[in-house]
């Protein structure tokens, strides 16, 4: 099992959500985050200077079986890409074990509903 954490532009969330759904990934957690990027930039609006180095993003956390890692990463990369600085990052890490609290299932079986193969 793998955990895929990705930080994307807030404006690309709907596109990424749809791409994940099409790839068969139905469940993930997400939250709004703020970060500081490598690019430092100031913009002026009506004579007031704003620092744009603090960027609003959305972070998604997805747990998938090993066989679904590649299609999940490709779905995110394709749908989140604008080609500009600040498109985001994807991190993949190993998960040692998973348990479904309700049924006591563990491992890969805890990640999907029986009869519905992802």
Q: Is residue 45 domain-resident?
A: yes
Q: Domain with 27 in it: what CATH number?
A: 3.30.70.120
Position 118 pLDDT exceeds 50 = no
Is 118 contained in some domain? no
Tell me how far apart the alpha carbons of residues 87 and 96 are, in angstroms, rounded to a whole number: 29
**47 band by pLDDT with thresholds 50, 70 and 90:** confident
CA atoms in the 13 A half-sphere facing the CB of 22: 12
Say which range, 16-20, 47-51, 92-96, has the weakest mean pLDDT.
Answer: 47-51
Residue at 102 is within a domain: yes
Rounded Cα gap, residues 65 and 68, in angstroms: 6
- Is 55 within a domain? yes
**pLDDT bucket at 52, cuts 50 / 70 / 90:** low
Domains: count for the chain:
1
The reported pTM is 0.82
Q: Could you tell me the pLDDT band of residue 89, with boundaries at 50, 70 and 90?
A: very high
Domain that holds residue 48: 2-111
Residue 70 belongs to a domain: yes
Query: Is residue 86 in a domain?
Result: yes
20-56 burial: b if 16+ Cβ within 10 Å, else e: beebebeebeeeeeeeeeeeeeeeeeeeeeeeeeebe
């Amino acid at each position: 099992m793998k955990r895929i954490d990705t930080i994307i532009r807030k404006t690309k969330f709907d596109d990424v959500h749809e791409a994940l759904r099409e790839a068969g990934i139905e469940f993930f957690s997400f939250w709004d985050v703020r970060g500081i990027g490598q690019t430092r930039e100031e913009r002026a609006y009506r004579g007031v200077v704003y620092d744009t180095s603090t960027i609003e993003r959305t972070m998604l956390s997805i747990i998938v079986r090993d066989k679904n890692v590649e299609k999940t990463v490709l779905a995110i990369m394709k749908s989140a890409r604008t080609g500009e600085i600040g498109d985001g990052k994807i991190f993949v890490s190993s998960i040692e074990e998973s348990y479904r609290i309700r049924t006591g299932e563990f491992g890969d079986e805890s990640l999907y509903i029986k009869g519905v193969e992802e």
